[in-house]
Structure 1
Amino acid sequence: MAERLHITADRNGTVEQLLARQPGLSRRQISRLKFLPAGLLVNGIPARSVTPVKPGDDVSLWLHESSHRNPVPYRILFEDALLLVVDKPAGLVVHPSPGHEQDSMQSVLEAALGHPLYLKGRLDKDTSGILVFGKASWVPSLTKTKKRYLALCHGQVQPQVICTPLKLRDRTMVPSLDGKSALTYVTPVRSIPGGTLVSVKIEHGRMHQIRAHMASAGHPLLQDPLYGSSCECGASATEGRAMLHCAAVTLRHPVTGDRLDLAARLPDDFMALCGVSSP
């Protein structure tokens, strides 16, 4: 739910300067108003943060409740003064975007913690698993992070290395000789009815790399709406959710240099389809 907040300007300046003086409003909240229809108005007219105001002007904006009626079920895997690592559920976008200003993983965590977070990795909306945030803007990129994914794929998958270059075409990545380099290492874990649970490691980290490579090898992820396979396992699962999970991450702490080995258990929809615990 949301409510309309009205503020009367008390001096000459800009909307941004006026809002910055209001307790409880963060710079991030203010910047997100531009994504909302009629998110920011001055005397009833759509405005921007740089719009000038004078004493007596009515500035109104949408404010969303920081608490959620249906809390997002995430787990904290690691937290200290500089890093926050969570197990993201499937179906949740990672960062705020038009239409997802308040219900992204980042927004939910920032509302719970009361301060900004800074993404140090990405996952697709429907990919579950480990996601890393920095708690300060100066936390460096975690360039040597190693990830292991679990995927449920169509057919009986053999151990393989897929090195097909990938190129963006429309909304999908397709094999192309003039595409970007991509390496995907695939190890079968066990067979399930109609498919295989595989462990996957990648280099380069291209958009949809695992989904595109497995499809090009004839083993698309189960239930993948873009790269093509419906569930043939006879078990219920979330319709349209490509069965991909970031199960393990190894990284070096940006300050202490300590090695962090983090793991996220198999989510319930994986368990329903293959009936195994996280390997």
Structure 2
Amino acid sequence: MTDRRTLPVPDGLEGERLDAALARLFGFSRSRAAELIAEGDVLLDGSVAAKSDRVHAGAWLDVTIPPPPAAPAPVAEPVPGMSILYEDDDIVVVDKPIGVAAHPTVGWTGPTVIGGLLGTGRRVSTSGAAERQGIVHRLDANTTGAMVVAKSERAYTLLKRAFKERTVDKRYHALVQGHMDPLRGTVDAPIDRHPSGDGRFAVVAGGRDSVTHYDTLEAFRSASLLDIKLETGRTHQIRVHMSALRHPCAGDLLYGADPTLAARLGLTRQWLHAVSLAFEHPATGEWVSFSSPYPDDLAKALEIVADDGR
């Protein structure tokens, strides 16, 4: 449904560019705000304006927000390289490979976990949005490792609750640049979309509560291998928090990693792996744990780092 809103420009936005003002008022990305302005969906004091126009306190904004495009339905086809770590009537735990999204989204044309499961004839929970059926948590497309999908409706309900209440033990290993100081610690910093609107996320005042615990497993000459436990599960959380500490994940060029080091390690994505996942089984109540070995690209990069200075 189309949403139309009319409101005055607050005093605090005096002199801001129109696209920046819209982004701050409505929580859009700057690029989304610019699209609305270009489509003529934004009037400033009754007239069409340009994204670079400056707004003045008290001026009237008339904004028409079209409904977001619907995500595509999952394509049911097997996903090469995606293996099953565990399966029963209620859950299936997959070892997600690189380049696979959890579920379809607008703009994503690659393979998905849900499509891969459906492509092998597996049944998944029908709860949730059509394109996300059975999905109770997500990994970035280029983050590998253990991920659970609900098969039964009861499993979906209980696992969603467990993730929301933070009773799931999610462990990641990350190879980050440099050495952490202190070697063990907690990052408690809110995350939201980056003000640039370029698809990144960032530590932003007023963002969503985000907590990351880390512990150094091994320090090498140019990098450190960390064990990371998440309390929250924000988009790009580990990548954003490590970047904010000036220790981005090796290979993570989007968040400031050194491209020279990435090339030397043969990395085409962030060195980040969901190494284990543990939770109360939704059917039996038993505490269950699953682990995923490092994929070849991460294992090779770690080997190169470990050999430095020997």
Query: Alignment partner for residue 128 of structure 1, among 125, 144, 154?
Result: 144
Contact 1:190 1:196 in 2 (8 A): yes
Query: Alignment partner for residue 160 of structure 1, among 173, 182, 185?
Result: 185
- Which residue pairs with 2:99 in the alignment? 91
1:1-279 to 2 correspondences below 5 Å: 35=72, 72-98=80-106, 100=108, 103-117=111-125, 118-139=134-155, 140-142=157-159, 143=162, 144-157=167-180, 158-169=183-194, 170=197, 171-229=199-257, 230=259, 232=261, 235-239=264-268, 241-275=269-303
State how far apart, in whole Å, the 1-side matches of 2:275 and 2:144 are. Answer: 8
- Which residue pairs with 2:40 in the alignment? none
Report the count of equivalent residues. Answer: 213
Q: Identity rate of aligned residues, in percent?
A: 27
State how far apart, in whole Å, the 2-side matches of 1:189 and 1:34 are. Answer: 40
Using the size of structure 1 for normalisation, the TM-score is 0.69
Which runs of 5 or more residues in structure 2 are unaligned?
Answer: 1-69, 126-133, 305-310
Q: Which has the higher strand share?
A: 1
Amino acid at match of 1:186: Y
Partner deviation per Cα, 1:138-168 (whole Å, 9 max, x = no partner)? 4224212110100010111222211122222
The verdict on how the C-alpha distance between 1:256 and 1:193 changes in structure 2, with shifts beyond 3 A counting, is same
CA shift, 1:228, in A, is 1.2
Using the size of structure 2 for normalisation, the TM-score is 0.63
The verdict on how the C-alpha distance between 1:34 and 1:130 changes in structure 2, with shifts beyond 3 A counting, is closer
Report the more deviating stretch, 187-196 or 225-234: 225-234
Contact 1:120 1:141 in 2 (8 A): no
Amino acid at match of 2:173: L
CA shift, 1:98, in A, is 4.3
Cα-Cα RMSD: 2.5
Which runs of 5 or more residues in structure 1 are unaligned?
Answer: 1-32, 37-63
The verdict on how the C-alpha distance between 1:164 and 1:102 changes in structure 2, with shifts beyond 3 A counting, is closer
State how far apart, in whole Å, the 2-side matches of 1:92 and 1:124 are. Answer: 8
The verdict on how the C-alpha distance between 1:227 and 1:78 changes in structure 2, with shifts beyond 3 A counting, is same
CA shift, 1:34, in A, is 8.6
State how far apart, in whole Å, the 2-side matches of 1:122 and 1:89 are. Answer: 13
State how far apart, in whole Å, the 2-side matches of 1:270 and 1:244 are. Answer: 8
Query: The residue matched to 1:190 in structure 2 has which SS?
Result: strand
Amino acid at match of 2:83: R
Amino acid at match of 1:131: M
Q: Which has the higher helix share?
A: 2
Query: The residue matched to 1:113 in structure 2 has which SS?
Result: coil
Contact 1:251 1:260 in 2 (8 A): yes
State how far apart, in whole Å, the 1-side matches of 2:238 and 2:115 are. Answer: 27
State how far apart, in whole Å, the 2-side matches of 1:67 and 1:138 are. Answer: 26
Report the more deviating stretch, 114-123 or 152-161: 114-123
Query: The residue matched to 1:119 in structure 2 has which SS?
Result: coil
